[in-house]
Amino acid sequence: MDQVVKPSAFNKSQRQQAFSQDLAWIGEGANAVQGRAHADLVIKDWSGFPIPQRVDQGAYWTLQSEKEKRFYAIIDAFAQNNGQLGITDARFVNLIKLMVLAFAPIEYAGHRSLSRVARELNAPAVQFTAGIQSADNLRHFQLLTHAASHYNKYFNGLDHSQEWFDAHWFLATAKSYADDISSAGAWETWLAMTLGFGGVISPVLYAPLMSGGADNGDLSIVTAGFAAQSDSARHLAWGLEVIRFLAEQDPTNVPVLQAWIDKWLWRSFKLTALVAIMQDYMLPKRSMSWQESWTIYVERPMAAAFESLNEVGLHLPAHWGLAIRAKQHSSHQTWLHALRYSATLPWHVWVPDAEETAWLSNSYPGGFDAAYRPHLEAARQQLKRNAGEHSPRYFCATCCSPLMDLAQQFRQERAQRGFCSLPCQEIFNAEPGKQVQQEAVIKALSDKKWPIEQHAGFGLFVGSQDEINFKEWGGGHS
């Protein structure tokens, strides 16, 4: 009888190697795209590439499966107990709509883009790390979609979310962001998803905003958000290590990385305007303002992160101070745009009541009362007479945020092209061919006519079917 010889067990480092980098594939397909992927950066030694410690393929799937068990247990209980009636106000559902319309598609675009990164960067450590991040982004898209599906049974506006994302002008800022990531080179894509989305958008989208959602009685989308944030924090930590590694490989890499940092921190900041209105205006019960959220979850962590990157010649963008100063204005300006062009928005809008306006005044002392309270009162009177305008006439040629009519003179000074800021103009000038194509897409979106009389999810919240149904069901008594 033959003797069975058991293979020797792996020690810790051997298991890490076997179930991470040794899982990489080798083939002509990966080599075929390697030249284009490496065109912008010089990589002299792959051996120093940082890989996530204490994470291998087995441990990763075990961890994520446990998280999903808890998530689906919570949302199943939420659905079985008619959790939609326990939220504080039916207006809160519009926050969920905006998350599904604007940010879930970006998560999916990140999944597809990072899977491309794993194919193009033919190094085992890169393939493993980018592959994990790609799987995480796919999970985030699925979790947000599944969590919102319960609300879709009872409220309008959650259907056809992909069509809205592709074809509505208000979501053009999010769509152009996703398209820019999808069309970028491999290394730029990685930096955009880790430092841009993971360092600027995710912390405020999935941490303070989700805490506010829990205060308003939601346990469905909030649970999905918390699960996503734990992954995004890990992505950011990996991304910072990768950026440092790339900067140390060759001095010529530093200016390229700095240009990407300047671009993606600004583009991510512009997209946070949608998070800002959710934080300040869409939460019926508020605990933290957008200004506080930005300071705590973005401004301070970024300053700390770049203290380390300063050692390799990288620094915060020269225009980062503009983003910091804009934290006092971003939510109010964006909400006023939504009120002005409310006729065809794929979610409901409203003017804050007296109590909510007082909270905004206390959260933004001085500036809110002087600059924005009069405009909100004017909007209240305007919306009594009509449902608002169809869409803006002008958009920023880079970030696609709407411009006021006064930008016409600015357009003429810039060769018939408008920009919301100097950083957006600089981003455009760096890649004019790419941005011109995006500008044409946004122009087509602004000209699209929506059948507003056939869609119950449009227009003002007051008097809407969602408001009437929620009251008839006896909701709001959590």
d(CA 105, CA 165): 8
The answer to whether residues 282 and 93 touch, using CB atoms and an 8 Å cutoff, is no
Instruction: Look at residue 30 in the predicted model and tell me its pLDDT.
Output: 43
184 falls within a domain: yes
Average pLDDT over residues 433-456: 63
**Whether pLDDT at 29 is above 50:** no
**Whether pLDDT at 21 is above 60:** no
The domain containing residue 90 runs over which residues?
Answer: 60-328
208 falls within a domain: yes
161 falls within a domain: yes
More confident residue, 54 or 468: 468
279: DSSP letter: I
Burial class of residue 241 in the structure, from the number of CB atoms within 10 Å of its CB (0-12 exposed, 13-18 middle, 19+ buried): middle
d(CA 244, CA 253): 10
433 falls within a domain: no
Q: Is 221 helix (H, G, I), strand (E, B) or coil?
A: helix
The answer to whether residues 49 and 245 touch, using CB atoms and an 8 Å cutoff, is yes
Instruction: Look at residue 359 in the predicted model and tell me its pLDDT.
Output: 95
d(CA 402, CA 387): 19
- Rounded (to 5) percent helix, strand, coil in the chain: 70, 0, 30
**Whether pLDDT at 1 is above 60:** no
d(CA 193, CA 46): 21
The 10s digit of each residue's pLDDT in 377-419 is 888 888 776 666 777 777 888 888 888 654 444 444 444 677 8
Which range is most confident: 77-86, 126-135, 435-444? Answer: 77-86
**Whether pLDDT at 449 is above 80:** no
Average pLDDT over residues 102-106: 94
Angle between helices 221-249 and 57-80 (to 10 degrees): 150
Instruction: Look at residue 460 in the predicted model and tell me its pLDDT.
Output: 81
The gap from C-alpha 10 to its chain's centroid, in whole angstroms, comes to 40
147 falls within a domain: yes
| Across 22-31, 92-101, 391-400, least confident range | 22-31
CA dist 210 to 219, 225, 439, Å?
Answer: 9, 6, 33
* Residues forming a β-bridge with 403: 394
167 falls within a domain: yes
The answer to whether residues 462 and 350 touch, using CB atoms and an 8 Å cutoff, is yes
The 10s digit of each residue's pLDDT in 266-300 is 999 999 999 999 999 999 999 899 999 999 999 99
Helix count and strand count (H, E) for the chain: 25, 2
Average confidence score pLDDT of the chain: 83
Average pLDDT over residues 191-205: 94
197, 299, 300, 188: which is closest to 243 by C-alpha?
A: 188
261 falls within a domain: yes
Instruction: Look at residue 409 in the predicted model and tell me its pLDDT.
Output: 44
CA dist 294 to 164, 167, 371, 429, Å?
Answer: 27, 29, 20, 28
Instruction: Look at residue 70 in the predicted model and tell me its pLDDT.
Output: 87
Instruction: Look at residue 93 in the predicted model and tell me its pLDDT.
Output: 92
Q: Is 460 helix (H, G, I), strand (E, B) or coil?
A: strand
More confident residue, 18 or 328: 328
d(CA 337, CA 343): 12
Would you mind telling me the total number of residues written for the chain in this entry? 478
| Across 269-283, 304-318, 444-458, least confident range | 444-458
364 falls within a domain: no
How many structural domains comprise the chain?
1
d(CA 340, CA 390): 9
**Whether pLDDT at 17 is above 70:** no
CATH number, domain at 128?
Answer: 1.10.620.20
